[in-house]
Structure 1
Amino acid sequence: MVPTMVLVADGTRDTRRKEALHDLAEAVADRREAPVQAAFGSPTELRAAVESIEGPLVVVPAFLAGSDAASTELLAGLDLDSRFDACATAPLGAVPSIVAQLVTRLHAEGWRPGDGVVLAADGGPELPGNSERRQVIDVARMLSRRVQTPVQVGYLHAWAPSVSDAVARLRRNGHDRVAVATWQLVDGADLHRLREIGATAVTAPFGPSPVVIDTLLAQHRAATARLAA
């Protein structure tokens, strides 16, 4: 029996973002590799979604590591210890194919060699065992190697430096043109905030792109193998 994929993210803050999450879940389900259950809401809604599923399940974060503090907290509050037929995967992080797509999106928005680059992540509270900040830094390093220029990390919430501070720092260092690489899986209010910063270019979130769907399904397959072991 193929475990149900439970796609998890906080869906309480932004209607546009919640719609984008459901579009992502529909795109994954269209591959027909596994049954898909969307769980985009509050902790109560997440628990109800998990408890409603009969048979094995794999909880898969529908967000990138360091891209969504509210979703990180939501997932951290889910307890699967009482279920022998369930497990959770980690949020997608420094995956080479995803970083490569970020480069493609920078070029599509008009980035040129020599332009400054800021990787825009969410930021948020440090949770026990949370490696998300390190994952964001790893993504910035991978991106820097691919575009052959230093990449500054900027955060939208809580952590420093902010995205606007990171953009300003690059401009003080001689970069008249600065592009913001958006480390987000789906659209939402944060994209509007990024576009108001005044960067030369801002990439769109990844959305239900083939590389994202492929990677989410790969996460599910790996977790399925662990359950069967």
Structure 2
Amino acid sequence: MVPTMVLVADDSQDTDRKEALQGLADAVAQRGEAPVVPAFGSGGDVRRAVDSVEGPMVVVPAFVAGGDFASSLVFSDLDLEGRFDACPTAPLGAVPSIVADLAGRLVESGWSSGDGVVLAADGSTGQEERQSVTDVARMLSRRLGSPVQVGYLNSWAPSVGDAVERLRRNGRDRVAVAAWRLVEGRDYERLHEMGATSVTAPLWPSEIVVDSLLAQHRAAKARLAA
């Protein structure tokens, strides 16, 4: 029996996020590899959606590590200890194909060698997610051949705005923001208010995101079968 993929995220405060997340769930389901159940909403909404799934399931964050503070809280509050047929996965992090896609988005947005770069994350309560953001910044820096600063919108410092200003003080007249987030929404729109020269689009839509989520499902499916 193929485990159900349960995609988890908080979309309770944002219509744009709700539409984007549903589009992502539809795209994963269309691959036909596994049944897909969207568990989007507040903590209670997500809990009810997870409880409604019968049989084995793989619970997959529909957000990148450190890229969605609200969703990270919802995911961390899920209690799956009583479900021996459930396997949670970690949020997507420093996946080489995703980082390569982000680098391409920077170039498409107008970045060129010599411009400053800020990797704009959201934050979370977990140190593992913070480390993942650091790893992404290092990988992105190697791919671009240029330093990459990290800035946060919530919970952690420095802020995105502070990181942009620091680069400007250090002589970078042009600063591009690489948005480390899966989907659009109000927090994404805030990035356009930070004084940067350009801001990349969210990582979704991209088939690379769908590929990566399905890869997580396959790995977890193997663990459930062991």
TMscore range, shorter length: over 0.9
Q: Please give the alpha-carbon distance, in whole angstroms, between the structure 2 residues aligned to 1:45 and 1:190.
A: 21
Q: CA RMSD in A?
A: 0.9
2:64 is matched with: 64
AA aligned opposite 2:103 = V
2:120 is matched with: 120
Measured after TM superposition, the shift of residue 216 of structure 1 is: 0.1
TM-score (norm: length of structure 2) = 0.98
2:18 is matched with: 18
2:172 is matched with: 175
Answer yes or no: is 1:88 the counterpart of 2:88.
Answer: yes
- Matched residues, number: 226
Q: Please give the alpha-carbon distance, in whole angstroms, between the structure 2 residues aligned to 1:116 and 1:5.
A: 39
Measured after TM superposition, the shift of residue 208 of structure 1 is: 3.0
Q: Please give the alpha-carbon distance, in whole angstroms, between the structure 2 residues aligned to 1:51 and 1:194.
A: 36
1:76 is matched with: 76
Structure 1, gaps ≥5 residues long: none
AA aligned opposite 2:67 = S
Equivalent pairs: percent with the same residue? 69
Q: Please give the alpha-carbon distance, in whole angstroms, between the structure 1 residues aligned to 2:173 and 2:210.
A: 36
Q: Please give the alpha-carbon distance, in whole angstroms, between the structure 2 residues aligned to 1:222 and 1:123.
A: 26
Answer yes or no: is 1:137 the counterpart of 2:134.
Answer: yes
1:109 is matched with: 109
Structure 2, gaps ≥5 residues long: none
Q: Please give the alpha-carbon distance, in whole angstroms, between the structure 1 residues aligned to 2:25 and 2:190.
A: 25
Measured after TM superposition, the shift of residue 185 of structure 1 is: 0.2
1:192 is matched with: 189
Which of 137, 160, 164 is equivalent to 2:161? Answer: 164
- Would you say the 8 A contact 1:16–1:187 is kept in 2? yes
Measured after TM superposition, the shift of residue 62 of structure 1 is: 0.2
Measured after TM superposition, the shift of residue 180 of structure 1 is: 0.1
Measured after TM superposition, the shift of residue 45 of structure 1 is: 1.2
TM-score (norm: length of structure 1) = 0.97
Q: Please give the alpha-carbon distance, in whole angstroms, between the structure 2 residues aligned to 1:48 and 1:157.
A: 27
Measured after TM superposition, the shift of residue 149 of structure 1 is: 1.0
Q: Please give the alpha-carbon distance, in whole angstroms, between the structure 2 residues aligned to 1:13 and 1:204.
A: 20
AA aligned opposite 2:35 = P
Match of 2:18, SS state, is helix
Match of 2:155, SS state, is coil
AA aligned opposite 1:137 = T
Q: Please give the alpha-carbon distance, in whole angstroms, between the structure 2 residues aligned to 1:192 and 1:46.
A: 25
AA aligned opposite 2:74 = L
Measured after TM superposition, the shift of residue 157 of structure 1 is: 1.1
